[in-house]
């Protein structure tokens, strides 16, 4: 047996594992996309029909449903606001934890991380009680405020790790040249962590866009979010698979696009916790 055959035979299980991995995680997603484009009569044909004339009928139905359209725009608004506020709050905090000396720095950082340990179900009851008194139920402000509780701890921690990677010398040089700390932060340090800002932005947007528990209890008809609205196609009386799949694609589409744009950074952001 020649050397080349040995290596190619050795590679066989690896190639097989690769194909299995891609199939296991990609096929279900493609299946949703295919269903969303199938004519109604083809959705339930067995064996599954792989060749069909694509139709946008289900998307028309989905977007023609007031609840879905409003859900998508509410979700987009709330996720964008959450992302912007998260950046506004967490960039300065991350910088301070990474660079400045101040009393109780470690305990405060630990506190920030620790707040995200609590399961969201734990916050539902207090938020419900508080929001019904403060008249914040079913308002954009209320739900954005709650989403900050999910995104701020994570974002502060992520930004801190990115600021720690910036060489101190850069900033010290700027300080020596007469820059104030604020100016040095904006002009010299911030451009070095644009990657980190992008990951923080993308992940806080995705988290808010995907959120379900708070949205299901603390919002109603006015501020209904897309992940809650999609349940409307799956009632006990009828299951509209076509429009359901189309809505699923509309909800997951933006997330997938963002993930494709920033995949390396997101993988780093998601797995960072395992290495620190």
Partner 1 sequence: MRPSRIYPSPGEGPAASAELPGAVPGGRALPRLDREARLALLLVGPSLAVLLAVSTVPLLVLLGASLFRIELTRPWVGGFVGVANYAAMLEDVRFWHSLQVTAVYTLTSVALQLLLGLAFALALSAVVRGQGLLRVAVLLPMILTPVVVGLVWRTLLLTPRYGLLDYLSILLGLGSHSWLGDPRLALGAVIVMHTWQWTPFVFLVLAAALAALPVEPYEAALVDGATPWQRFRFLTLPLLRPAIVTVVVIRLIIALRAFDAIYAATGGGPGTATEILNLYAYRVAFNSLNLGYGAALTTALLLFTLGATVVFGRVRGAVEASP
- DSSP assignments along 168-217, one per residue: HHHHHHHHHTT--HHHHIIIIIGGGGHHHHHHHHHHHHHHHHH--HHHHH
What is the SS3 assignment for 47? coil
CB of 110 to partner 1, least distance (A): 11
Q: List binders of partner 1 among 216-275 (CB under 8 A).
A: 217, 227, 230-231, 234, 239, 241, 244-245, 248, 251-252, 255-256, 259-260, 263-264, 266-267, 270-271, 273-275
Single out the residue of 120, 164, 170, 198 in contact with partner 1 (rule: CB under 8 A): 120
Q: List binders of partner 1 among 55-84 (CB under 8 A).
A: none
Single out the residue of 6, 66, 121, 261 in contact with partner 1 (rule: CB under 8 A): 121
Sign of CA dihedral 38, 233, 142, 129: negative
From 7-15, 60-68, 162-170, 191-199, give the range in contact with partner 1 by CB under 8 A.
7-15
CB of 172 to partner 1, least distance (A): 13
CB of 163 to partner 1, least distance (A): 11
Helix 66-99, helix 241-261: angle, nearest 10: 20
CB of 32 to partner 1, least distance (A): 6
What is the SS3 assignment for 235? coil
Q: List binders of partner 1 among 128-187 (CB under 8 A).
A: 128-131, 133-134, 136, 145-146, 148-149, 152-153, 156, 181
Q: Which is nearer to partner 1, 112 or 161 (CB)?
A: 112
Name residue 239's beta-bridge partners. 234
Q: Which is nearer to partner 1, 53 or 276 (CB)?
A: 276
Contact between 93 and partner 1 by CB under 8 A: the answer reads yes
Q: Which is nearer to partner 1, 30 or 66 (CB)?
A: 30
From 50-58, 107-115, 162-170, 186-194, give the range in contact with partner 1 by CB under 8 A.
107-115
Q: List binders of partner 1 among 203-222 (CB under 8 A).
A: 206, 209-210, 212-213, 217
- Longest C-alpha distance within the chain, in Å? 79
Q: List binders of partner 1 among 23-42 (CB under 8 A).
A: 24-29, 31-32, 35
How far is Cα of residue 42 from the mean position of the Cα atoms in its chain? 33
CB-neighbour burial class of residue 82 (10 A; exposed 0-12, middle 13-18, buried 19+): buried
Measured distance CA(250)–CA(244) in Å, rounded: 10
CB 245 within 8 A of CB 230: no
Q: Which is nearer to partner 1, 80 or 210 (CB)?
A: 210
CB 218 within 8 A of CB 142: yes
**What tokens were used for 188?**
């010299």
């Amino acid at each position: 047996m020649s050397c080349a055959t040995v290596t190619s035979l050795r590679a066989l299980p690896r190639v097989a594992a690769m194909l299995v991995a891609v199939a296991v995680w990609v096929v279900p997603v493609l299946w949703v996309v295919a269903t969303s484009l199938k004519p109604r009569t083809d959705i339930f044909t067995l064996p599954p029909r792989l060749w069909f004339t694509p139709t946008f009928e289900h998307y028309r139905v989905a977007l023609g449903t007031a609840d879905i359209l409003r859900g998508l725009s509410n979700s987009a608004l709330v996720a964008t606001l959450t992302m912007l506020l998260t950046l506004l709050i967490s960039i300065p905090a991350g910088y301070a934890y990474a660079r400045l000396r101040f009393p109780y720095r470690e305990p405060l950082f630990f506190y920030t991380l620790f707040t995200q340990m609590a399961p969201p179900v734990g916050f539902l009851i207090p938020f419900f009680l508080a929001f019904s008194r403060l008249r914040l139920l079913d308002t954009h402000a209320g739900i954005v405020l709650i989403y900050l509780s999910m995104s701020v701890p994570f974002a502060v921690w992520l930004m801190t790790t990115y600021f720690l990677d910036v060489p101190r010398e850069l900033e010290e040089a700027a300080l020596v040249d007469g820059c104030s700390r604020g100016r040095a932060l904006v002009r010299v340090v911030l451009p070095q962590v644009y990657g980190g800002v992008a990951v923080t932005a993308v992940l806080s947007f995705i988290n808010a866009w995907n959120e379900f528990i708070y949205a299901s209890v603390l919002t109603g008809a006015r501020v209904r979010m897309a992940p809650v609205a999609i349940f409307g196609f799956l009632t006990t009386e009828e299951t509209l698979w076509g429009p359901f799949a189309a809505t699923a694609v509309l909800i997951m589409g933006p997330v997938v696009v963002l993930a494709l744009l920033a995949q390396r950074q997101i993988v780093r952001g998601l797995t960072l916790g395992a290495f620190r």
